[in-house]
């Protein structure tokens, strides 16, 4: 049963991925990314991290992707642009992608990972994450929140100044 669900999530993650990279329609690409992100959230839950899985849906799907779709709706006028660039650039991209994919796969298979012999049962994570974030990782946590605040203010400023500039 778990295997079946696992395979479903793997397929949910992989298949739309190709649309994300290749579709010439940007809204279709964004919608495919939604399905991919959903599949990844499911995989996180199967990895025993229910908290991260749900946060993945809230932050990526409920926040970032909404922003992206919002951006598409604001900037898309008239007919959709075909998205791919000329052949040389495409060829270069394809070769580079192939090299990186090969390197990643090689390092993944060649390295002897010290996989734990017996996997511990996944325990409830939300409390442990909270403890770590406000204990051992307090400073990175605070820095991340300052970064988010700075990004928020910066985003408002950048989008606003161009209004006055006109």
Partner 1 sequence: MDWMIGFAILIVKLGVVLVGLLLLAAYLVLLERKFLGRLQIRYGPNRAGKFGLLQPLADTIKMLTKEDIVPEAADRVLFLLAPAVVAAEALLIFAVVPFGASVTLLGKKIPLVITDLNVGLLYVFALASLGVYGVALGGWASNSKYSLLGGIRGAAQMISYELSLGLSLVPIVMLARSFSLLDIVRAQAHYPFILVQPVSFMIFFISAMAETKRIPFDLPEAENELGAGYHTEYSGMRFGLFFLGEYVNLQVFGALVAVFFLGGWRGPFLPPVVWFLIKILVISILMIWVRGTLPRLRYDQLMHLGWKVLVPLALLNIVATGFVLLIIG
Partner 2 sequence: MNSLYTYLFLAALLFSLGIFGVFQRRSLIGMLIAIELMLNGASINFMAFNRFLAPDPIVGQIYTLFIMGIAAAEAAIALSIIVAVFRRLRSINIERAQELRG
User: For binding to partner 1 (CB under 8 A), which residues are involved?
Assistant: 25, 27-28, 31, 34, 41, 50-51, 54-55, 57-58, 61-63, 66-67, 69-70, 72-74, 124, 126
Query: Which of partner 1, partner 2, none interacts with 54 (beta carbon under 5 to 8 A by kind)?
Result: partner 1
Query: Which of partner 1, partner 2, none interacts with 138 (beta carbon under 5 to 8 A by kind)?
Result: none
Query: Which of partner 2, partner 1, none interacts with 57 (beta carbon under 5 to 8 A by kind)?
Result: partner 1
Residue by residue, what is the 3-state secondary structure of the chain? CHHHHHHHHHHHHHHHHHHHHHCCCHHHHHHHHHHHHHHHHHHHHHCCCHHHHHHHHHHHHHHHHHHHHHHHHHHCCCCCCCCCCCHHHHHHHHHHHHHHHHHHHHHHHHCCCCCCCCCCCCCCCHHHHHHHHCCCCHHHHHHHHHHHHHHHHHHHHHHHHHHHHC
Per rule CB under 8 A, is residue 158 in the interface with partner 2? Answer: yes
Contacts of 90 (CB under 8 A, 6+ apart): 84
Name the minimum Å distance from CB 135 to partner 1: 17
Nearer to partner 1 by Cβ, of 17 and 69: the residue is 69
Query: Which of partner 2, partner 1, none interacts with 135 (beta carbon under 5 to 8 A by kind)?
Result: none
Total binding residues for partner 2 by CB under 8 A? Answer: 92
Nearer to partner 1 by Cβ, of 27 and 133: the residue is 27
Per rule CB under 8 A, is residue 15 in the interface with partner 2? Answer: no
Nearest CA among 71, 84, 67, 66 for reference residue 25: 84
Name the minimum Å distance from CB 136 to partner 1: 21
Q: Give the whole-angstrom CA distance, residue 36 versus residue 45.
A: 14
Enumerate residues 100-119 that contact partner 2 by CB under 8 A: 100-101, 104-105, 108-109, 113-116, 119
């Amino acid at each position: 049963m778990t295997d079946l669900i696992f395979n479903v999530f793997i397929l949910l993650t992989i298949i739309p991925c190709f649309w994300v990279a290749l579709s010439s329609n940007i809204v279709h690409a964004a919608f495919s990314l939604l399905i991919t992100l959903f599949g990844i959230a499911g995989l996180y839950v199967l990895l025993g991290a229910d908290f991260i899985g749900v946060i993945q849906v809230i932050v990526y799907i409920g926040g970032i992707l909404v922003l992206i779709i919002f951006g598409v709706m604001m900037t898309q006028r008239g007919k959709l642009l075909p998205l791919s660039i000329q052949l040389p650039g495409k060829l270069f991209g394809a070769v580079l992608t192939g090299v990186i994919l090969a390197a990643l796969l090689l390092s993944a298979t060649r390295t002897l990972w010290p996989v734990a012999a017996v996997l511990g049962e996944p325990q409830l994570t939300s409390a442990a994450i909270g403890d770590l974030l406000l204990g051992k990782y307090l400073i990175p946590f605070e820095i991340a929140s300052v970064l988010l605040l700075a990004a928020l203010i910066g985003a408002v400023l950048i989008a606003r100044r161009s209004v006055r500039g006109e």
